[in-house]
Structure formats: C-alpha cells, structure tokens
Amino acid sequence: MVKKLLIIDDDAVVAQSYSVKLQSEGFETQIAFDGIEALDLLPKFLPDLIILDLMLPGMSGLEVLGAIRESARFSALPVIMLSNHYLEAGSSADIEAGLNRSLIKADTNLSTLVSVINEMFSANAGSKPNPLQLARNVFCERVLESIVPMQSALQALARAQVAAPEALDVIRSKSEALIAGAAELALTRISHLLSALAGLAQQLSETPVKSTLSTTRTLAGALDALNRLSTAGLSAERLDAPLALVVEDELVSQEVVRAALERSRIRSVVVANGELALSLLEFNRFDIVFLDVTLPGINGYQVCTALRQLKAHQTTPVVFITGLKEFEARTQSALSGANDLIAKPVSIPELAVKALTHVVKAN
C-alpha cells in the first residue's frame, strides 16, 4: 500500500521540492501551507506520516503538533520536525530508534529526508512517539551545559569585586542565545528567567556602579534557579502566571516594582499599608511578597512576622524593599523571616531576576 505523507510548510518552494522528490520515491503527498489548513486536511487525507515545519505563520508548528497529539486518532502518528532552530537528530535513544525525528533544514537534503522516512516506517509502529518532549529534553541539556561557563564567569566577577564586562558578557550572550529556543519549545519559565538574566547582565555591564555584592548574589541565585528549571524540564512549567503582593506606600516605587513584575510575566496586587496587606494574605494565596520596610502604621518587619503565622504563607518568599543600610536590613530581615531584600532605588532588571528566582525556588 502506498504511504501517504502530509507536508506542512509555508515555503512553497521547499514544500514543492519535498513533494516532487517524495512522489518520485513512490509516496503520495499533500501540502498544507499553514497549521489551520493542515488540521483541516488531516482527517480527510489520513496521512501515514507528517513532515512539519516549526516556523509557521499564525498557528506555530508546536501548536499544530500539540493539536495532533491531543487527538486520540492521531496521537501516535509519526512526525518529522524540520526547523533551523532544532538540534540535530541522534541526541536521544528514542530518536535513534527511528520513532520520530527532529532535523535541521539547512543540514538535511532530500535524499537524507527520504532515508529518515523509510527508517521511521520500518521502526516499531506500536510505540507512541513524543518528539516535542524529546526536543525539550535535548534543549534542557543544552541549557545545563551553558550554565557551566556562566557560573565560571560569575566566580570571576565575584573575585574582581567590581563590574567585569567580559564576565557579564558571557552571562548575557549565553542567556540570549537560549531565549528563542526556550520560547519556541514552550518552556516559558526558562525563557522568562533567561530574558531577565540577560537584562540584568546588560545593565551591570553598561552601568558598572550598579554592580555590587548584592547583584552578584542575585545572579548566582538566578543561575541556581535556571539549573532547577532545566533539570525539571516541562514538569516545572505552570499554566497560570504567578501572583505577587506588593506592599509599598511610595507611588514611584510602586510603579517600578509593577514594571519589573510585568517584565517577569508575574501578576501583581499593590497595596500601600501593612494592615490591608495582612487582610489580603489571610484570605488569598500569593507566590511572592515584596514588602517595604518603612510603612505607615505597622512596618514591614511586623507584617513579615505576622504573615509567617498564616498557614498559607509560612514558606511564601518575602523580599524586603529598603533604603536602609544593607547590613542592618539583612540582620533585621532574617529575624523577621524574610528571604531576601533589594535596595532603593530599585533596579527593574534586578528585581525581575529576584522575583523569578524566588518563585522558582518556592515551587
């Protein structure tokens, strides 16, 4: 029986070249130029295999793949993923077994594509493929490998005790190189943390006076959180955006903190005094609390001590926002149960990194 192949690619030249070559090899082919057309054609054409471009207009290739896998009828349908952003095949035992493939377009000629298709058809058809998860696993391994030079750069930065542009550039460039891949694979928490990390490294490089022991600790915490996320992979993702409570009475500081949290894709509720904050904490769950030390009425230390008595917030991360001297603030914050602090005037990139880091560690 002739095998039927569905080609999903918005590049007409590429799609037609695939189709002509595959037809010459004895396959029946159909072309869809976007995800909507492909999903409409799927139950009509009933392909034996799909060749999927990940960079599609409108509905992305990953969204198309997700829709295919959600269908009981097509959940085990073999898929070859073609993208210039994908890692090479052969990095996973499951890929090597011929169940599914992810190939780099630029490195895959038509003869190679035909060989891969024939190999997939000869593989064990009873196994259910999950190419997206395989690609995510490979990408997370790449992130873990990139953390090593970033940690070495951070150690050099700590030894220098001043802004070291070369070390900061390593952290920035390594982070930026991974952001697009994380977003493409729907590893959103990794993508957001990488973006915040790159932003902070860029700011410190451009403004060396802002590089302190505190920012070095912030970078170290972020790399630790990135390690955790990459080790956990997809299981570390969450569908809902984290929710922060911001307790700050200064309007300028409120807006700065809100902007940093928006950059981190963290929702926020802002209040101006400790009494209202405790009322909200008593009946609502928050993923992180940013707390000004000096507040009208009860101060930030008292709020922190009180919230630790609430069952829902005994371990909720609390970050003090303070204009006090760092040593004094750290001593008092430790006594009242806070996890961290950030000095005024607040740096948006640093607060974004702190927020994501503590949310990751808390989960």
Q: Give the pLDDT confidence of 180-195 residue by residue, as tens digits.
A: 999 888 888 999 999 9
Structure-token pair, residue 166:
């070369």
For range 200-218, the mean pLDDT: 86
Q: What is the largest CA-CA distance in the chain?
A: 80
The CATH H-level (homologous superfamily) assignment of domain 135-234 is: HPT domain (1.20.120.160)
pLDDT score recorded for residue 362: 87
> Nearest to residue 279, comparing CAs of 271, 267, 287?
271
For domain 4-129, the question of CATH label 3.30.70.270 is answered with no
pLDDT score recorded for residue 324: 61
> Nearest to residue 354, comparing CAs of 200, 206, 205?
200
pLDDT band at 82 (very low <50, low <70, confident <90, very high): confident
Structure-token pair, residue 98:
């011929």
Numbered ranges of CATH 3.40.50.2300 in the chain: 4-129, 238-362
Cβ atoms of 290 and 266 closer than 8 Å: no
The answer, yes or no, to whether the previous bond of 208 is cis (omega within 30 of 0) is: no
Helices 348-362/188-206 angle, 10° precision: 150
Residue 83 CA to residue 61 CA, distance in Å, equals: 9
The rounded Cα 287 to chain-centroid distance in angstroms is 18
pLDDT band at 96 (very low <50, low <70, confident <90, very high): very low
Q: Is the pLDDT of residue 134 over 90?
A: no
pLDDT score recorded for residue 130: 59
- The pairing of beta strand 267-271 with beta strand 243-247: parallel
Phi/psi region, residue 90 (left: phi>0; alpha: psi -120 to 50; beta: rest), is: left
Q: Is the pLDDT of residue 169 over 90?
A: yes
pLDDT score recorded for residue 90: 37
Give me the half-sphere count of Cα atoms (radius 13 Å) on the Cβ side of residue 111.
0
Numbered ranges of CATH 1.20.120.160 in the chain: 135-234
Burial class (CB in 10 A: 0-12, 13-18, 19+), 89: buried
pLDDT score recorded for residue 100: 64
pLDDT score recorded for residue 357: 95
For range 80-87, the mean pLDDT: 66
Q: Write the CATH number of the domain with boundaries 238-362.
A: 3.40.50.2300
Q: Is the pTM of this model over 0.75?
A: no
Give me the half-sphere count of Cα atoms (radius 13 Å) on the Cβ side of residue 71.
13
